[in-house]
Amino acid sequence: MIPDIGKPLDRVDGRRKTSGGARYAAEHNLPNISYGALVMSAIPAGTIKSIDAGAALKSPGVIAVISHLNAPKLNAPQTPSQGQQQAAGMSGNLAEPRNIPFQSNAIHYTGQRIAIVVADTLEHAIHGAELVKVSYNPANARTDMQKFRGEAFDRAKSAFSKGDADAAFASAPVKVDQTYRTPHEHHNPMEAHSLVAAWNGDHLTIYDSSQNIFAVQRTFAQLFGIPKENVHVMSPFVGGAFGSKGSTWPHVVAGVIASRVVGRPVKVVVTRRELFFANGHRPETEQRVALGANSDGKLVALIHEGASQSNDVCDYAERFVRPTRAIYAAANIRGINPVVSLNLPSPTYMRAPGENPGMFAIESAMDELAVALNMDPVQLRLVNHADVDPVEGKPWSSKSLKQCYQQAADRFGWSKRNPEPKSMRNGRNLIGWGMASATYPAHRSPASARATMKSDGTVVVASGTHEMGMGTATVMRQLAAETLGIPAERVTFEYGDTTLPQAPISAGSMTAASVGSAVFGAATELRKKIAALDGVDPSTLTADSYHAILARHYLDHVDTQFDAKPPEEEPYTTQAFGAHFVEVSVDEEIPVVKVQRIVSAFAGGRILNEKTARSQYLGGITQGIGMALLEQTHLDKRYGTYTNVNFAEYLVPVNPDIRSIDVILVPEEDQHVNPIGAKGIGEIGIVGVAPAIANAVYHATGKRIRDLPITIEKLM
């Protein structure tokens, strides 16, 4: 049987993951391996005065204590411009290009990796790290975004405008002008960051839990001044990432330095607590959204500005005005997302960076506008539907947002909603219904794939991409099988290794589109190449033709490599859309919010596997419920430190928090977005969940919560 693309094939890696057969980075035990434990800065700003490693070095099993006092000097990192990065598929590199471990005594934030202790066992390394005595020259630390808000600057060059939004807002008959806040949040993948590094002369091998192995390869070639071919990076199974493993973080550099110094393989496993300090987070944002509308609901002005936390050592800016460009057809639009540089850990991409916090603000404000206009929130969105890209004016490659509203609203029963707040209840619980739109761009980067047909008719497809739970390995197998017209069981997909053809960072929801286009191209070429051997039309080949042709020509195998690239000029704006409808219940006495049900519809182009796609959406929505109600990393501004750095106090949704989630896959054909017609679905699921819940909470209680998460005390 030939599986069609889209069929809900089981995950090819599912059995190994659930039976313990999957080996993650830190499970690679090389001969003579040693263990590294990190020492973190206890202060947020200043310099290291001294490091006393005496006791640590005398402690059992300790091999070395490495810090800026004795570490090898590395080459300064190259920092390619954003344009160069994109052209080379080079997004995501050193997370902190201005803080290479052990190169200086400067302290930029609490938790900075300042030394690594290497020992013969993990326990000896941890014990040794506890014995390292560090003294500091502290400096005044900037830890409070509010206090330094006036110093915000537009690091990402995010400012854009269409028309005169401020003038239009001033004269608009109906206005909403509010400030929304989102807190620090941490990705917390189940598998914390980890690596095994081993040197052999000037050859480096790394097993890294990474979303971006080719960038890791380039980074170490550059830092150590060795050819890129000398650096072999593998990212086998990855136990979740969500953006936190898209960059080379200091612990990776520390582990590689340590292995170089001790001349043995070194394993570094970041602890849950350590993960909170130097592996990235979604930074705090403060966002003003000002909406001006006519009395019919048509937006005349959309202003979106504010700030997010960043620091001096990273280049990250939370681009919360990205969705502002795309979501509504306002006549006048202005957006900017500056950063405030503080002595706090480096922020980074976290599932739907930009879009997710940005849409919390926009979609909350749209709900407030619907209330001000006494208009149905769906109707308000339809009135402002963007038929073309609102800022660029380009046509969409495809767009099915209206179908998303319609289908999700119908299944939810939205037409029965009484718009009056506090009008619906179930016993002592207030019931609220809210909705919000979702959107995320359909990106694509250059990617290559190789396809090899063996004489037995089996096929190996290879591309150095990553599988961190999205279903990549499964859908690539399906794509190749369908393109060749053979059963999926005959196809193996190899990934996670820099000796394979190049693939981009697995982020920005672009793996299916980028790597999928390469796999599709390679399989198409392979089919042609084999058909040409017999001089037949490729379309005439069947599942049984292949090995017969190879046998006739005495061939052990036939292979092709295909380099897929997005077009230089893009006449269309490519974007996925969706909509969430949420029912919450709120206990009237102790205002605990429960999300009773969510109906969400998404149009993400062609769906490659219904099962893994649904799973991506479910994961995004679940993470969105966490963002709305639970997730927040608490910052003690006195010390610039996070305080709830464990799973007991950093709350994420668990089974009782998740009730009914109903996902509708709206069929959508897109002839333009890329050769396979898939837009990418990894991130859009989370976008819009938090505002849909906040809007439902308003409908239930009459209380508008503009700062996440929506906790009991904010509703008291």
- The two beta strands, 194-200 and 266-269, are antiparallel
DSSP 496-543: SBTTSSP---S-TT-HHHHHHHHHHHHHHHHHHHHHHHHT--GGG--T
Q: Which residue has tokens 């402002």?
A: 384
Decide: residue 182, CB within 10 A, 0-12 exposed, 13-18 middle, 19+ buried: buried
| CB 507, min distance to ligand MOS, A | 3
| CB 610, min distance to ligand MOS, A | 22
| CB 448, min distance to ligand MOS, A | 20
Q: At CB < 8 A and 24+ separation, what contacts does 471-474 make?
A: 471/11, 471/609, 471/611, 471/612, 471/613, 471/615, 471/616, 472/506, 472/511, 472/512, 472/515, 473/11, 473/12, 473/13, 474/9, 474/10, 474/11, 474/12, 474/13, 474/609, 474/612
Nearer to ligand MOS, 168 or 507 (CB): 507
- The two beta strands, 113-119 and 34-40, are antiparallel
37, 47, 64, 260 from 54: Cα distances, Å: 16, 20, 11, 21
Q: Is the dihedral of CA 171, 175, 176, 178 positive or negative?
A: positive
* Distance separating alpha carbons of residues 170 and 312, to the nearest angstrom: 36
Nearer to ligand MOS, 210 or 398 (CB): 210
Check 191, 286, 668, 683 and give the catalytic one: 683
Nearest to 96 by CA among 111, 118, 117: 111
Nearer to ligand MOS, 508 or 709 (CB): 508
Specify the DSSP element, H or E, that contains 332: strand 332-335
Q: In this structure, how many other beta carbons lie within 10 angstroms of the beta carbon of residue 98?
A: 17
Residue whose Cβ sits closest to ligand MOS: 243
Structure tokens at 535: 């001089």
* Distance separating alpha carbons of residues 286 and 144, to the nearest angstrom: 12
CB contact burial 591-613 (16+ within 10 A = b; e otherwise): bebebbebbbbbbbbbbbbebbb
Q: In this structure, how many other beta carbons lie within 10 angstroms of the beta carbon of residue 471?
A: 25
272, 302, 354, 466, 681 from 336: Cα distances, Å: 34, 12, 12, 33, 26
| CB 593, min distance to ligand MOS, A | 26
* Distance separating alpha carbons of residues 581 and 413, to the nearest angstrom: 9
Nearer to ligand MOS, 107 or 350 (CB): 350
- Continuous H helices in 159-249: 165-170, 213-224
Distant-in-sequence, close-in-space partners of 54: CB < 8 Å, separation ≥ 6: none
| CB 242, min distance to ligand MOS, A | 6
| Interacting residues with ligand MOS (CB under 6 A) | 211, 241-243, 246, 349-351, 353, 507-508
| CB 268, min distance to ligand MOS, A | 21
Distant-in-sequence, close-in-space partners of 81: CB < 8 Å, separation ≥ 6: none
CA 499 to chain centre: 25
* Distance separating alpha carbons of residues 173 and 293, to the nearest angstrom: 6
372, 589, 700 from 430: Cα distances, Å: 22, 10, 5
| CB 244, min distance to ligand MOS, A | 8
| CB 22, min distance to ligand MOS, A | 20
Q: Are 562 and 483 in contact (CB under 8 A)?
A: no
Nearer to ligand MOS, 255 or 508 (CB): 508
Nearer to ligand MOS, 101 or 280 (CB): 280
Nearer to ligand MOS, 349 or 405 (CB): 349
Output phi, psi for 582, to 5 deg: -125, 140
Nearer to ligand MOS, 352 or 480 (CB): 352
| CB 273, min distance to ligand MOS, A | 22
Nearer to ligand MOS, 243 or 516 (CB): 243
71, 446, 575, 578 from 567: Cα distances, Å: 45, 10, 16, 26
| CB 510, min distance to ligand MOS, A | 8
Nearer to ligand MOS, 246 or 390 (CB): 246
| CB 241, min distance to ligand MOS, A | 6
Nearer to ligand MOS, 353 or 640 (CB): 353
As a dihedral over the C-alpha atoms of residue 370, residue 375, residue 377, residue 380, rounded to 10 degrees, the angle is: -90
Decide: residue 415, CB within 10 A, 0-12 exposed, 13-18 middle, 19+ buried: exposed
Nearer to ligand MOS, 211 or 222 (CB): 211
| CB 243, min distance to ligand MOS, A | 3
Nearer to ligand MOS, 282 or 614 (CB): 282
| CB 516, min distance to ligand MOS, A | 16
DSSP 705: -
568 is known as an active-site residue:
no
Q: Are 359 and 537 in contact (CB under 8 A)?
A: no
- Positions annotated as catalytic residues are 683
